[in-house]
């Protein structure tokens, strides 16, 4: 049985439609990341799940119960916010216990739970401080703690790490992932950061303009993006795109170059017409100019990234990125050929922008 | 022009110096002079012979001064608590996204635009038993209705409180409303997630987090209390008897009507001391925050 299911959620503010029709089935114990650029409706979706925004149409079912009409506090959810939203005049201890006090939890249980969560998150030493006396990372811990003591099996995160500095963000990311494994609760995590999505998620929902473009395991989102948007949004550097068309014999034509697509696993039969070829920088190899199945290119510049390097080539009127070894990058000639690994490429229809 | 100024060695210090001179002479100079006068037996014309703190002894054996001080405490407590409570209530209601919010905001802020003299006069007419509210309601037919606080020595001070609250509640409302609008939206979401009832959210989460805003209101209202003069003049003129006398009025009366420069100066210095004492908690908390 799924833990949460969203059925045809629609939401608009006035004439502006934020969520078109979102369907999602989330299993118990899954770590779901909702990924998308700002303004794609991901935070609105989370607020709708939490009950902080009412949806115009659709149904939210949590553990078999339709909660669409319930107040946020009655849905059995916990939530962590971007700006932490700690109660400013209360100590950390009281921040943790206040919700339970409101809910009428017995005193002994409150003490026990606060002690448990403080130990779990290593904030025991901070219990008697006020939020203003804490650093950003410590506040975030307290906010997570406040969500955990709500003893709900579902926890929502609204960009919880985006106010932290890069180092702390990486550390907290790992801790959150471990926390998820320890507790086994269902987590829904909204972010615009694709690294967070790739590293933490069991499944990623990529959102764009109020629609879920793809809902899949992070690796398949990276390898087999379902749409042009997903392909361009996920991955750094962005995927290389080349415009062209398919001829009758299944060859990709661009300019006066033809590339065979025999190695490519088409999802549709008999595709043709205007298409876009997408290829990741690591799926391109540098060969000699004029080698078979290669495209002439000239080196613009290289970027050394430490572990490896990126070569930027001018090719077919576009600038393409190619991942290189450090040695190869140092000794790279100007005029070369590029060969694409078509088994790992992605082809999209120009018209529908969907994967072919 | 600017090069000419530069050639003259023009410095901003000079412009600022004029301002500082004004402050030094007219504010602090006056304070020092007043303090000097309070140590003399001056009457109509200043005498420069120092007699020590005699005037202060006289002051604290003066029945009218003691009544003034007591009145200020009564008025101050009721006025400040009332204004804060009422203004905050209005701000909360306005923050709940009511319809026509700006209309109500204007209505409640309007009394502030009316001078205290006009406020006092209006309330005097309104509360005067023979012409105001009491007469109106008796005229309608409730013959036994009585609201004559303005003419009762033991109650007149509270009519000042009513008029004061009416005048200042709008100010508190606007300041508190600005504070409420500054509350992070995520905090409200967290409150809803925890299922905290609205009144507890305000009393235990929102207002405790708005301490600086509340402190600003308190300081503003305190200064109103200590310098309270025009409202009394317009409404009760200190009466009935001396039942609504206040320190500021005491000082003015002794300066000009009773020509006792020394005693009036002593009263003024006591008011200054009182202001400083009342502001002490504020300065203390500010200082503690900085360091």
CB-based contact B205 A88, cutoff 8 Å: yes
pLDDT tens string A198-234: 999 999 999 998 889 999 999 999 999 999 999 999 9
- Residue A251 has phi, psi (to 5 degrees) of -100, 145
| Contact (CB<8Å) A85/B186 | yes
**Binary contact (B189, A90; C-beta < 8 A):** no
The three-class DSSP label of residue A259 is strand
Name the superfamily (CATH) of residues A2-232: P-loop containing nucleotide triphosphate hydrolases (3.40.50.300)
Domain with CATH 3.40.50.300 in chain A: 2-232
Q: Is the pLDDT of residue B1 over 60?
A: no
The sign one gets for the Cα dihedral B47, B51, B53, B58 is: negative
Tokens of residue A29, six digits:
């114990």
User: Which residue of B189, B195, B197 is in closest CB contact with A52?
Assistant: B189
- What is the band of A2 on the pLDDT scale with cuts at 50, 70, 90? low
Partner-chain residue, chosen from B189, B200, B211, that has the shortest CB–CB distance to A81: B189
| B241 within 8 A of B261, measured Cβ to Cβ | no
CA A64 to chain CA centroid, Å, is: 27
Number of alpha carbons in the 13 Å side-chain half-sphere of residue B37: 23
For B122-154, the pLDDT digits (tens) are 888 888 877 878 778 787 877 777 777 777 777
Share of chain A above pLDDT 70, in %: 99
How many secondary structure helices (H) and strands (E) does chain A include?
Answer: 9, 20
Q: Which residue of B has its CA nearest to A46?
A: B189
Query: Are A83 and B184 in contact (CB < 8 Å)?
Result: yes
**CB contact (8 A) between residue B193 and residue A50:** yes
Q: What pLDDT is attached to residue B9?
A: 65
Q: What is the DSSP string of A199-257?
A: HH-SEEEEEETTEEEEEE-HHHHHHS-SBHHHHHHSSSSPPEEEEEEE-TTSEEEETTE
B210 band by pLDDT with thresholds 50, 70 and 90? confident
What is the percentage of chain B residues whose pLDDT exceeds 90? 6
Question: Other C-beta atoms within 10 Å of A146: how many?
Answer: 28
pLDDT at B80 (0 to 100): 92
Provide CATH 2.40.50.100 ranges for chain A.
Answer: 237-349
| Residue in A43, A44, A86, A87 to test binding to B, most B beta-carbons within 10 Å | A87
pLDDT tens digit sequence for A262-319: 888 887 766 778 889 999 999 999 988 888 888 889 999 999 988 899 999 998 888 9
B266 within 8 A of B42, measured Cβ to Cβ:
no
- Round the average pLDDT of chain A to a whole number and report it: 88
pLDDT at A61 over 80: yes
CATH topology of domain B55-290: MetI-like fold (1.10.3720)
What tokens does A236 get?
């750094």
Say which residue the tokens 């804060």 belong to. B84
Question: How far is Cα A135 from Cα B288, in angstroms, rounded to an integer?
Answer: 20
Task: Please list the residue range(s) of chain B that carry CATH number 1.10.3720.10.
Answer: 55-290
CB atoms within 10 A of CB A81: 24
Res A280: pLDDT:
92
The answer to whether B176 touches B183, Cβ cutoff 8 Å, is: no
User: Please, what sign has the CA dihedral across residues B158, B159, B160, B161?
Assistant: positive
State residue B86 phi and psi, 5-degree precision: -70, -45
Determine contact, residues A144/A80, Cβ cutoff 8 Å.
yes
Report CB contact under 8 Å: B189, A50.
yes
Per the CB < 8 Å rule, is B189 touching A79?
yes
Distance from C-alpha of A348 to C-alpha of B12, rounded to nearest angstrom:
67
pLDDT of residue A292: 80
Per the structure block, which two tokens stand in for B126?
């309104």
What pLDDT does residue B238 have?
74
A240: left (phi over 0), alpha (psi -120 to 50) or beta: beta
B200 chain-A contacts, CB cut-off 8 A: 102
In chain A, pLDDT over 90 holds for what percent of residues? 20
With beta carbons under 8 A apart, name residues in chain B contacting A74: 195
Asked whether the ipTM of the predicted complex exceeds the cut of 0.95, the reply is no
Q: Helices (DSSP H) in chain B: which residue ranges? A: 2-7, 12-22, 30-38, 54-61, 63-95, 101-113, 116-127, 133-140, 156-181, 185-194, 198-200, 211-226, 230-235, 247-252, 261-290
Contact between chains at A83 and B189 (C-beta distance less than 8 A): no
Residue ranges of chain B whose CB lies within 8 Å of a chain A CB: 184, 186-187, 189-190, 192-197, 200, 204-205, 208-209, 211
pLDDT, position B7: 67
- Look over chain B and give the mean of its residue pLDDT values, rounded to a whole number: 83
| Residue in chain B lying closest to A100 (CA) | B194
A144: phi then psi, degrees, rounded to nearest 5: -65, -40
- Comparing B102 with A211, the larger pLDDT belongs to A211
Q: What would the pLDDT profile of B250-280 be if each residue is shown by its tens digit?
A: 888 888 877 788 888 888 898 888 888 887 8
Q: At what angle do helices B211-226 and B156-181 cross, to 10 degrees?
A: 150
CB contact under 8 Å between A98 and B204, yes or no, is yes
Looking at per-residue pLDDT, the higher value among B228 and A28 belongs to A28
Task: Note the pLDDT of residue A270.
Answer: 67
- Taking contacts as CB-CB distances below 8 angstroms, the residues of chain A near B209 are 87-89
Lowest mean pLDDT among A1-15, A38-52, A339-353: A1-15
pLDDT at residue A196 above 70?
Answer: yes
B186, B195, B211: residue with CB nearest A103: B195
CA closest to A102 among chain B residues: B196
Q: What CATH topology corresponds to A237-349?
A: OB fold (Dihydrolipoamide Acetyltransferase, E2P) (2.40.50)
CA distance B16 to B7: 19
- Condensed to tens digits (0 to 9), the pLDDT of residues B30-47 reads 899 888 888 888 777 777
Q: How far apart are CA A241 and CA B6, in angstroms?
A: 61
Rounded to 5°, angle at Cα B54 from B51 and B59: 145
Question: Is there a contact between B189 and A71 if contact means CB atoms under 8 Å apart?
Answer: no
């Amino acid at each position: 049985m799924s833990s949460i299911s969203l059925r045809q959620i629609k939401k608009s503010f006035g004439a502006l439609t934020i969520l078109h029709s979102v369907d999602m089935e989330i299993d118990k114990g899954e770590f779901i990341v909702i990924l998308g650029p700002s303004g794609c409706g991901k935070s609105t979706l989370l607020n709708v799940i939490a009950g902080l925004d009412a949806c115009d149409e659709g149904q939210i079912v949590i553990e078999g119960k339709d909660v669409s009409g319930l107040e946020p506090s009655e849905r059995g959810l916990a939530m962590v916010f971007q700006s932490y939203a700690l109660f400013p005049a209360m100590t950390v201890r009281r921040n943790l216990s206040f919700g339970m006090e409101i809910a009428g939890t017995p005193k002994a249980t409150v003490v026990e739970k606060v002690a448990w969560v403080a130990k779990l998150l290593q904030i025991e030493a901070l219990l008697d401080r006020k939020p203003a006396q804490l650093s950003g990372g410590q506040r975030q811990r307290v906010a997570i703690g406040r969500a955990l003591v709500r003893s709900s099996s579902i926890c929502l995160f609204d960009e919880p790490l985006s106010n932290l500095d890069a180092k702390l963000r990486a550390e907290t990311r790992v801790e959150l992932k471990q926390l998820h494994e320890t507790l086994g609760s269902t987590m829904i995590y909204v972010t615009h950061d694709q690294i967070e999505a790739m590293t933490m998620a069991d499944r990623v929902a990529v959102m764009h303009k109020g629609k879920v473009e793809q809902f899949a395991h992070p690796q398949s989102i990276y390898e087999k993006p379902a749409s042009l948007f997903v392909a361009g949004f996920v991955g750094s550097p962005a995927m290389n795109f080349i415009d062209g068309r398919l001829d009758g014999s299944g060859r990709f034509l661009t300019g006066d170059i033809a590339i065979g697509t025999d190695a490519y696993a088409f999802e549709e039969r008999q595709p043709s017409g205007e298409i876009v070829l997408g290829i990741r920088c690591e799926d391109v190899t540098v060969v000699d100019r004029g080698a078979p199945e290669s495209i002439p290119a000239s080196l613009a510049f290289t970027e050394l990234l430490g572990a490896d390097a990126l070569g930027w080539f001018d090719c077919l009127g576009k600038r393409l990125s190619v991942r290189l070894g450090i040695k190869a990058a140092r000794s790279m000639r100007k005029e070369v050929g590029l060969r694409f690994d078509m088994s790992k490429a992605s082809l999209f229809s120009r018209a529908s922008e969907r994967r072919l | 022009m600017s090069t000419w100024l530069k050639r003259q060695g023009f410095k901003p210090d000079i412009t600022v110096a004029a301002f500082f001179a004004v402050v030094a002479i007219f504010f602090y100079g006056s304070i020092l002079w007043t303090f000097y006068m309070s140590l003399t037996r001056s009457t109509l014309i200043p005498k420069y012979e120092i007699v020590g703190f005699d005037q202060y002894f006289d002051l604290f054996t003066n029945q009218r001064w003691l009544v003034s001080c007591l009145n200020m405490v009564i008025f101050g407590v009721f006025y400040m608590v009332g204004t804060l409570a009422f203004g905050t209530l209005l701000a909360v209601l306005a923050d709940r996204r009511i319809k026509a919010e700006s209309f109500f905001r204007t209505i409640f802020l309007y009394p502030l635009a009316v001078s205290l003299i006009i406020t006092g006069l209006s309330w005097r007419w309104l509360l005067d038993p023979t012409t105001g509210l009491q007469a109106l309601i008796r005229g309608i037919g409730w013959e036994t209705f009585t609201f004559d606080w303005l003419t009762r020595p033991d109650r007149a001070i509270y009519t000042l409180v009513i008029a004061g609250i009416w005048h200042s509640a709008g100010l508190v409302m606007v300041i508190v409303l600005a504070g409420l609008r500054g509350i992070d939206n995520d905090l409200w979401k967290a409150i809803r997630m925890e299922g905290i009832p609205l009144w507890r959210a305000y009393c235990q989460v929102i207002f405790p987090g708005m301490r600086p805003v509340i402190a600003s209101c308190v300081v503003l209202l305190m200064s109103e209390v200590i310098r309270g003069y025009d409202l009394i003049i317009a409404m009760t003129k200190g009466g009935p008897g001396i039942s609504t006398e206040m320190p500021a009025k005491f000082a003015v009366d002794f300066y000009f009507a009773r020509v006792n420069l020394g005693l009036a100066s002593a009263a003024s210095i006591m008011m200054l001391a009182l202001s400083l004492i009342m502001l002490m908690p504020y300065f203390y908390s500010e200082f503690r925050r900085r360091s």
